[in-house]
Amino acid sequence: MSYFQQIHQVGPNHFVLPRIKDMKCRVDVFLSPDLLAQTIANGNEDLWQQAVNSASYEGVTGVYLMPDTHTGFGIPIGGVVVTDETIIQSGSGYDISCGVLALRVPGLLAENVVSWDKREKWVVEVEQRVALGIGSERPPLALQIKPGAIDNVLRYGAKAVDVLNVKTDVCERLYIPVPADTEFTKIERAYSKAAPQLGSLGGGNHFIEMQVDQEDGSVWIMIHSGSRGYGWQTANHFYYEAAKLRGLAKNQRERSHLFADEPLGREYWAHHNSAANFAIANRFAIAVGVMEALGEVFGVDAVPYYDISHNLIQEETLVLPDGNTRKGFVHRKGATRAFPSGHPDLEGTRWEKTGHPCLIPGSMFSGAAILFPRENAHQSACSVNHGSGRLYGRAQAKRELEEMQDDIDEEMQTVKREFAGVEIEGIVSNTEKTPLDECTHVYKDLDTVVGILVDEGITKVARRMWPVANIKGVD
């Protein structure tokens, strides 16, 4: 019997794959019946094999798939794995702490960004201040990194970007503690990337986007980026080291794992956390250039609203069904933390009574949402989706959508949307042609994906925003 045939439904959008073979726990799956069927539409069970593998590591106590799930490396994208003392590197992948920073722009409304020319000017001004692309090495003009200061970034994250004076309540965390004796220079290929790339966007699906709330016409900026070359080289180093330790072949390295109390596990945890600190600092460093551009073009300031990661391993307080709590490692690979009101780890914060915001980008055409967790969030290990989820791989999208390029470009340039009674036409972009591997056709529908978790009482939608300008990192 196939894995898929053993899945059974326990709620309108909640399915369970029971324990089989070497699995240590069941897999809870949050998908609509239609999206569930799509997981085997290509005739293979790659996603479910990865789910079974995820539940078969030593020390795993829970596995959850979000509605944007699809196959990844080791652990599915949109996958959440909870463990006791096991650290699974694929739980944060190569782009450790990739995530989103949202900026509010007080005083700027839909009516102020109707002009295509002004939005285009803002895009140009951002490009002059923020390095784009996977190999870019130019920090924002206002952020000069002094020799040796990069170690403070790796140790103290957003706290080290003192030009913004970042406060605890505007981010998932200011930084994750790193042991004092951590030698950052030990992985030279990683360390050499840190200072030059701080404040750069990166390629792939990373972006800077101006968005407008559909209800009140307020303007927001989302910055989506991660730990850049520092995080990639860090992850790559430990994949190989852990594979050797576990006796895995090099081509199986992404299935490796470590234990928190073994020497290599402690070393990985320290460097993983330093990469997470770099990522959050990187997003706030990018914000420096974005804020400058807003002031230059629109004469306004932006205010950090919240920053949150969606590729990260964190040690958290787990709330058990009987109300008791314990500590555990929560791996969110393409999934977003979602602590509801009353969660022990929110005690004493601004979000203690409401839960914290969850920032969910969709596609460069279909915009984004800000969610807040609800009481049923514990059913999904206090996690929600991280985006829409891919329908096409990058190579497949470029191959199969090539004939649609002109239509996709026209769609981006002519779409008309109304925001609080103000019509805005088109989405300004910094690319000559819309990237086919990032257009709306390669993603699931954001509202459908979010609606699954809304129906399950896991989250609620606080804001739905649509893009009016999008800046992509250029590969």
Structure-model confidence comparison of residues 44 and 332, the more confident one: 332
**pLDDT, tens digit (0-9, with 9 covering 90-100), for 316-325:** 999 877 778 8
Q: What is the pLDDT of residue 475?
A: 59
**In the chain, domain spans:** 99-223+278-304+380-472
Q: Tell whether the model's pLDDT for residue 331 goes beyond 60.
A: yes
Q: Which CATH number fits domain 99-223+278-304+380-472: 3.30.470.10, 3.40.50.10480, 3.30.230.10, 3.90.1860.10?
A: 3.90.1860.10
Q: What is the pLDDT of residue 305?
A: 98
Q: What is the pLDDT of residue 146?
A: 60
Residues of the chain with pLDDT > 70: what percent?
96
Structure-model confidence comparison of residues 133 and 253, the more confident one: 253
The CA distances from residue 469 to 123, 378, 437, in Å, are 7, 36, 18
User: Per-residue confidence at 142, pLDDT binned at 50, 70, 90?
Assistant: very low
Q: What is the pLDDT of residue 141?
A: 44
| Interatomic CA distance for residues 307 and 315, integer angstroms | 18
User: Per-residue confidence at 135, pLDDT binned at 50, 70, 90?
Assistant: low
Read off the pTM. Answer: 0.96
Q: What is the pLDDT of residue 138?
A: 58
Q: What is the pLDDT of residue 32?
A: 97
Q: Tell whether the model's pLDDT for residue 220 goes beyond 90.
A: yes
| Interatomic CA distance for residues 17 and 19, integer angstroms | 7
Q: Tell whether the model's pLDDT for residue 104 goes beyond 60.
A: yes
Q: What is the pLDDT of residue 145?
A: 59
Q: Tell whether the model's pLDDT for residue 51 goes beyond 70.
A: yes
Q: Tell whether the model's pLDDT for residue 385 goes beyond 90.
A: yes
Section 8-30 average pLDDT: 96
Section 152-167 average pLDDT: 88
| Interatomic CA distance for residues 186 and 11, integer angstroms | 49
Mean pLDDT value across the chain:
93
Query: Which residues is 212 bridged to in the sheet?
Result: 219, 466
Q: Which residue has the tokens 């407008």?
A: 212
Q: Tell whether the model's pLDDT for residue 354 goes beyond 90.
A: yes
Section 382-409 average pLDDT: 92
Q: Tell whether the model's pLDDT for residue 165 goes beyond 90.
A: no
Query: Which residues is 102 bridged to in the sheet?
Result: 222, 306
| Interatomic CA distance for residues 88 and 90, integer angstroms | 6
Q: What is the pLDDT of residue 144?
A: 54
